[in-house]
Structure 1
Amino acid sequence: MAKTRTAFFCRECGNETARWQGQCPACHEWNTLVEEPAAPKRAKAAAGVSASARGGYGPVAAPVRLRDVEGAEAPRWATGLAEFDFVLGGGIVPGSVVLVGGEPGIGKSTILLQVAGRLEGASKRTLYVSGEESAHQVKLRADRLEEAAGSVTLLAETELDSILLRAAELAPQVLLIDSIQTVYTPELEGAPGNVGQVRECAARLQRFAKQTGTAVFLVGHVTKGGGIAGPKTLEHIVDTVLYFESAGGLDNRVLRATKNRFGGVDEIGVFRMTAAGLAPVGNPSELFLGERHGGASGSAVVATMEGTRPLLVEVQALAAKASYGAPQRVSTGLDHKRLALLLAVLEKRAGLAFGALDVFLNVVGGLRLAETAGDVAVAVALASSVFDRPAPSDAVFIGELGLGGEIRPVGQVERRLAEAARMGFKTAYLSPRAVPKTLPPGIRAVAAEDVRALVGLIFG
């Protein structure tokens, strides 16, 4: 019996090396190499060799000039879940591969089963492959959903060749794999979910999608660090990567596109988990501001952009006297280094002292402020807490703070102001260079050059 060839694979980038090293030579990450069985070496293919003789890799492609390529853009398939279609860029692209990741129990399987049921209702053939649950368990979930999923074809299988064989027989338009970490190929030794198995199975499913035009959805587990388990090359293989995020124990779910070859990145869709499945939230700004109470100090509203969608989000701050040694700096929804920078700017440029204060910051609703347009709102919330005086409840704050205390303009101000006006806000504080020529009806702009002037305008 031939001895199985082993190699060392990087968990981050998937690079293969013959021996163990402390640092991956490709991505230069430390302690990421693991020993696993390697794929058997395939013989080089000649032009006349059949696809079956080359392990199912398909016919040899011939080079063509781009002007000679025929065909038009295929229409997308709408799922009927408006938020899901929005994150994908308008619907499902035939032949695409989509990876859906998220924490256990967050709703990955639920939303894909809902998508499959809606596609079947729209006369699109689907095949739902479950590697983690039995057919009876999947049916119990389907019976709870609002969508009728009884016509979805289910296959409880984990062996890749059997999955591709059934997919070739049934010719589905959409293939859903739950999950890629449970699928394995007998060509590789080793347990399902290891680096080699995940990479090989994903690559073969990608070839199947491109050759047949079938849209493939893959469910991916996440690690303790929040990244999708398996090699980083898994995210490079697929066309779209969607992450499910939970809002800290609430029923809200945020679906975020971190990669999309057919649409914008950082687009988000908001859902609410119900007994009948995930319900899309058509007005996320209203959801995130629904529990806001005017008249409380330490609160400010920012008009942020998530991809191409403007969202109004409340920022809450609490500055209290430190009673237990060194002052604390606790931030939820904002990078703690960014918070430290803003505190230094406020202390140096606006004369607010935080050296003896505990500072707590929270972005309501479980969102993260990734862009710098929320700097002004954070500064106003902190100043409001220090003075113990509320900021105007009908105002939004838009802008980036520089180290000199200056308020800098940000992009897409018109869309931010339009969303604020639609939600009933009357005033917008921003940089003089960011004030548009035409304001949306019902809202006025107040310009402030720097953070000291802004604090003076609001708190006197």
Structure 2
Amino acid sequence: MARPHTSWRCQQCGHAEPRWVGRCPQCGEYGTFVEEAAPVAAPGPSGVTASPQPVTALADVSVEEEFRFSTGIGEFDTVLGGGLVRGSVVLIGGEPGIGKSTLLLQAAGSLGHRGVEVLYVCGEESAQQVRSRADRVGAANGISLLPEVDVSVIEATVLAEKPAVVVVDSIQTLFDPGLDGVPGSVGQVRATAARLVRLAKSHGTTVIVVGHVTKEGSIAGPRVLEHVVDTVLYFEGASDHMFRIVRAVKNRFGSVSEAGIFEMTGSGLAEVAQPSAALLAGRDGGVSGSVVMATMEGTRPLLVEVQALVTPSYLQMPRRLAVGVETPRVLQDMAILERRAGISLGSHDVYVSVVGGVRVSEPAVDLPLALAIASALKNRPVGDGVVVFGELGLTGDVRGVPHAEARMREATRMGFGDVLAPASAASAGGSARFVGVRTLAEAVERTLG
């Protein structure tokens, strides 16, 4: 009997090798190769081609009037670009326990309550566990439940029941019986995802899929999983913080610049109507090392508090720790402070944090971050009614950032009297008193003396 042909495939990135290797040459991970049977070619004479299909002109394709429909959760609709698109596939990922299943169960309950047929496929939990969680978030009615992991059974059920929305929790638990490999392997994830995508496109069913994430924070499985779906959403925020941010990193039917803000409560995820007020709640004024920054989450301005703590170091290499902001950006701003503003930090430990579990990655955090560090070192408060934003150049100049008018308008709405910003933003207007600065040294002098 002929020996069946097999290959070894990395379960991290999908790279294939003819024999087992300890370290993947593609992604560098160790011990991730699993033996898989190679696909068998379909029998038939070579040279036989499929019959051509009639071609339709793009201009003749009709678009339904109800191309989108709302989930009933405003923040979720905002991230999706206005709601779910019929026949689309949405992939949502995040750390364990951050609220992925809770949000989708709430969305499914809202859709079911408004008469939209929803099929909830639970591969990780039993029917009793899902019902218990649904009762807690108030979404027990209007949802059809299918505890199944066989994608063939799921496909047959969808074709028979014809639901408008299918929620799959999660893609790593499904398997295709026609393929070798355990659920969650690269081959199984690729095959099951492809079948779900075909099901959505051919029958107009909207499919929402939950995906696990790796220790690096990316969605587990082959990268092709993110390529074949229409929308990819990520949950941000630590599970021990009350705020959660849902951000789109890919959206074929909308913008990727939007973000939805939620608060984790005992009855599920609640939309945050006034995020700036919630993020600044409990802030003590007149404390050194605290600066209020105007940042942008998509097209929405937010006020967040940037805190810094600077203490003498007793180590040969002082600590530099950052939460909510990138460490390289902290190191760069510290270098600019020392070189362009004469503030030496070489013998001090520096700790930086953005309060509330929010991550800020835009360049506008440079000026408030530098002022917070300088304030902590000098032990002088910046001021209670001051909002700061601006990018720092390596020469120490303060450069303009986008959406200056929206940032200033949010500062005015929240009752702040002064806005310290790049001098180029003077034309943005607003009722708050504008303080324009051109260099970091000027900003330090104006706020800290």
Give CA deviations for 1:41-90 in whole Å, capped at 9, x if unaligned. 45498435xxxxxxxxxxx7544443343335643111111111111111
Aligned residues with identical type, % of pairs: 49
1:12 and 1:435 map into 2 onto residues whose CA distance is 50
1:70 and 1:17 map into 2 onto residues whose CA distance is 46
Give CA deviations for 1:72-115 in whole Å, capped at 9, x if unaligned. 56431111111111111111111111111112222211111111
TM-score if structure 1 supplies the norm length?
0.91
Give CA deviations for 1:194-217 in whole Å, capped at 9, x if unaligned. 000001100110011011111101
Q: Does 1:102 align with 2:94?
A: yes
Q: Does 1:378 align with 2:369?
A: yes
Q: Does 1:205 align with 2:181?
A: no
Q: CA shift at 1:10, angstroms?
A: 4.5
Query: Which one of the candidate residues 445, 451, 454 is aligned to 2:434?
Result: 445
Does the 8 Å contact 2:170/2:209 carry over to 1?
yes
Change (3 A) 1:325 1:255: same
Does the 8 Å contact 2:417/2:433 carry over to 1?
yes
Q: CA shift at 1:184, angstroms?
A: 0.2
Does the 8 Å contact 1:184/1:192 carry over to 2?
yes
Q: CA shift at 1:281, angstroms?
A: 0.9
User: In structure 1, what residue type is equivalent to 2:33?
Assistant: V
Q: CA shift at 1:355, angstroms?
A: 1.0
Query: Which one of the candidate residues 290, 294, 298 is aligned to 2:289?
Result: 298
1:122 and 1:347 map into 2 onto residues whose CA distance is 59
Change (3 A) 1:302 1:14: same
Structure 2's unaligned 5+ residue stretches are none
1:394 and 1:11 map into 2 onto residues whose CA distance is 53
Q: CA shift at 1:5, angstroms?
A: 4.0
TM-score if structure 2 supplies the norm length?
0.93
Name the counterpart of 1:348: 339
Give CA deviations for 1:385-414 in whole Å, capped at 9, x if unaligned. 111111121111111000000001011111
1:87 and 1:459 map into 2 onto residues whose CA distance is 39
Does the 8 Å contact 2:11/2:34 carry over to 1?
no
Name the counterpart of 2:39: 40
Structure 1's unaligned 5+ residue stretches are 49-59
Over the aligned positions, Cα root-mean-square deviation in angstroms equals: 2.2
Q: Secondary structure at the match of 1:435?
A: helix
Q: Secondary structure at the match of 1:259?
A: strand
Does the 8 Å contact 1:193/1:230 carry over to 2?
yes
> Where do 1:124-139 residues align within 5 Å?
124-139=116-131
> Where do 1:146-225 residues align within 5 Å?
146=138, 148-225=139-216
Name the counterpart of 1:9: 9
Name the counterpart of 1:29: 27
1:247 and 1:365 map into 2 onto residues whose CA distance is 10
Does the 8 Å contact 2:93/2:100 carry over to 1?
yes
User: In structure 2, what residue type is equivalent to 1:453?
Assistant: E
Q: CA shift at 1:137, angstroms?
A: 1.2
Name the counterpart of 1:55: none
Name the counterpart of 1:459: 448
Aligned length: 444
1:400 and 1:318 map into 2 onto residues whose CA distance is 21
Query: Which one of the candidate residues 378, 382, 385 is aligned to 1:391?
Result: 382
1:120 and 1:317 map into 2 onto residues whose CA distance is 47
Does the 8 Å contact 2:22/2:33 carry over to 1?
no
1:169 and 1:353 map into 2 onto residues whose CA distance is 70
Q: CA shift at 1:222, angstroms?
A: 1.5
Name the counterpart of 2:310: 319
Q: CA shift at 1:30, angstroms?
A: 3.0
Name the counterpart of 1:51: none
Name the counterpart of 1:361: 352
Q: Secondary structure at the match of 2:84?
A: coil
2:156 and 2:369 map into 1 onto residues whose CA distance is 55
